[in-house]
Amino acid sequence: MTATMETIAPAGTWQLDPVHSTVAFEVDYLAGTFKGDFRDIAATLAVEGDTARLEGVAKVASVDVKDENLAAHLQSPDFFDAERHPELRFAAENVALDGDSVTIRGEITIKGVTKPAAIAGTVAPPMTDPYGKERIGLKVATTVDRTDFGVSWNAPLPSGDPALSNDVTIVGDLHFVKA
Amino acid sequence: MRILGISGSLRRDSYNAGLVRTAARLAPGEVELWDGLKGIPAYDEDDERNPAPAVVELRSALAGADGVLFATPEYNSSVPGHLKNALDWASRPLATNPLRNKPVAVVGASTGVFGAVWAQAELRKVLAAIGARVLEDELAVGQAATRFDEQGLLADNELRERLAGVVESVIDAVDERVAVAA
C-alpha cells in the first residue's frame, strides 16, 4: 500500500537495532499493570518509493519478566505455547504518515492465530548517529484481546472478577538503522 | 510410544487404577501403570538438594514418558493430597520440570454419580500451571462400583471406547509434538 502523504523514511532497507529497541506488553493485573518484554526481537522496514513494508518477530522463549517461574509459565501451553508457536509476528504494508504520527495496518500473529491489527504512534525523523549510520525511531502501540488468540489463562478473584485483563497493550520502541 | 498411567488412588482395588489398567489393555505396549505414589514424602524445599529415592523415581518415570494419563478419585471435592504432593515434587524447578510441554490427559472414577469431575478440573488446572500440555478430553466414570468387572477392568463398552479415545488423543498429541520438533 502507499504511504499517502509522505514516505516514512528514505528508500532502502532499515534493520532493527535490537539492543536499543523494546517490544513489550502491558496488561492490567490485580491492582496494577503488569509489564514484560521480549529480549530476542528482529524487524525490517523496507522502503521503496512511496511504499513501505514492516515485518517484525519476537521469540516467545525470550520473554523477560522478573520471576523465572512466571517466565516458564508464560512459555507453557497455558499461555504462549512456545513449543508449538515459538514466535510472535507482525507484518504490514500499509503505513500511513501524518506529520510525525504514524498508523501501520497489518496482521499480528500470536500463538499461531493471525488477526488484523493497527499499530499507531510517532516517528522520529531520520538522523545520523556518531558512526555515520542513518537512524529513525518509531514509538508505536496496539491493544489486542488476548483471548482472540487463545491466550485465555485467568484466575477468579474472591469477588468473582478475573485477575488478569483480556486487553493487552503491545508497545514497540523501535530503532531502525539503514543497512 | 510410552504413556505413563498414574492413579491418584492407592487402594489395592482402586477403580482409578482400574481405569489405567483398562487403558493399558486398550493400547497394549503403550500405557503402563506407575504405582510409586505411596512412597513419596511430603514436599519440603529443604529436601530438594537430596530428594527421596521415590521422588527421583517419579521424576525419572515422567521424564522417560512421552505422555501421561492421570486417573483421579475425588477427596473432599478436590485432588487427593498425595497426588498433588507428588506433582509439587515433580514440578520443581518449574522451567525444566519433566511435565513441561508433555501431553497429559485426566480421567476419573468415583462411587458417586459425578465421576470425580471437580477433582479432574482441579488436576487439569494444576497440570496446566506446571506447564504440561493438558488435553481437553474428559471421562468421568460415576457409580464406579457398577462399572468394573471382577478383574477390576472397566466393563461398560461405551466407557471403554471413550477411554480408548482419550488414550488416542494423548498418542496424537505426542505424535504432533514429535512432528513439531522435527
Average pLDDT in the A72-88 region? 96
Whole-number Å distance between alpha carbons of B140 and B156? 13
The 10s digit of each residue's pLDDT in B7-46 is 999 999 999 999 999 999 999 999 999 999 999 999 999 9
pLDDT at residue A6 in the model: 62
Interchain contact, A72 vs B95, CB within 8 Å? yes
**B160 in reach of chain A (CB within 8 A):** no
The 10s digit of each residue's pLDDT in B79-134 is 999 999 999 999 999 999 999 999 999 999 999 999 999 999 999 999 999 999 99
First-last CA distance in chain B = 16
Whole-number Å distance between alpha carbons of B130 and B98? 9
- Position A50 pLDDT exceeds 90: no
- For residues A83 and B177, the answer to whether their CB atoms sit within 8 Å is yes
**Reduced 3-state DSSP string for chain A:** CECCCCCCCCCEEEEECCCCCEEEEEEEECCEEEEEEECCEEEEEEEECCEEEEEEEEEHHHEECCCHHHHHHHHCCCCCCCCCCCEEEEEEEEEEEECCEEEEEEEEEECCEEEEEEEEEEEEEEEECCCCCEEEEEEEEEEEEHHHHCCCCCCECCCCCECEEEEEEEEEEEEEEEC
Q: Which residues of B122-135 are buried (b: 16+ CB within 10 A; e: fewer)?
A: bbbebbbbbbbbbb
Average pLDDT in the A145-153 region? 97
Q: Is the ipTM of this complex over 0.95?
A: no
Other beta carbons less than 10 A from residue A167's beta carbon: 12
What secondary structure does DSSP assign to chain B, as a single string? --EEEEES---TT-HHHHHHHHHHHHSTTTEEEE--GGGPPPP-GGGTTS--HHHHHHHHHHHT-SEEEEEE--BTTB--HHHHHHHHHHT-SGGG-TTTT-EEEEEEE-SSSS-SHHHHHHHHHHHHHHT-EE-----EE-SGGGTB-TTS-B--HHHHHHHHHHHHHHHHHHHHHHHHH-
Q: Is residue A93 part of a domain?
A: yes
Domains (range + CATH), chain B: 3-181 (3.40.50.360)
Residue B66 neighbours by CB under 8 Å, 6+ apart: B1, B2, B3, B102, B103, B174, B177
List chain B residues with CB under 8 Å of A83. Answer: 101, 133, 177, 180
Q: Which domain holds residue A41?
A: 12-24+37-142+174-178
Nearest CB among A68, A72, A84 relative to B131 is that of A72
Average pLDDT in the A135-153 region? 97
At B181, is the pLDDT very low, low, confident or very high (cuts 50, 70, 90)? confident
Structure pTM?
A: 0.88
Interchain contact, A77 vs B94, CB within 8 Å? no
**Percent of residues, chain A, with pLDDT higher than 90:** 87
Other beta carbons less than 10 A from residue A156's beta carbon: 9
**B178 in reach of chain A (CB within 8 A):** no
C-alpha A132: how far from its chain's center? 27
- Position A166 pLDDT exceeds 90: yes
Dihedral pair phi/psi, residue B62, rounded to 5°: -65, -40
- Which residue from A minimizes the CA distance to B102? A77
Report the CATH number that the domain containing residue A63 is assigned in CATH.
2.40.128.110
Q: Is residue A165 part of a domain?
A: no
At A9, is the pLDDT very low, low, confident or very high (cuts 50, 70, 90)? confident
The 10s digit of each residue's pLDDT in B149-162 is 999 999 999 999 99
- A126: preceding bond cis by omega (within 30 degrees): no
- Chain-wide mean pLDDT for chain A? 93
**B36 in reach of chain A (CB within 8 A):** no
- Which residue from A minimizes the CA distance to B104? A77
At A45, is the pLDDT very low, low, confident or very high (cuts 50, 70, 90)? very high
Cell numbers that stand for B164 in this block: 480408548
Q: Is residue A32 part of a domain?
A: no
Domain count within chain A: 1
- Position A4 pLDDT exceeds 50: no
In the block, cell 492407592 appears at B10
List chain A residues with CB under 8 Å of B132. Answer: 76-77
pLDDT at residue A3 in the model: 42
Average pLDDT in the B136-150 region? 97
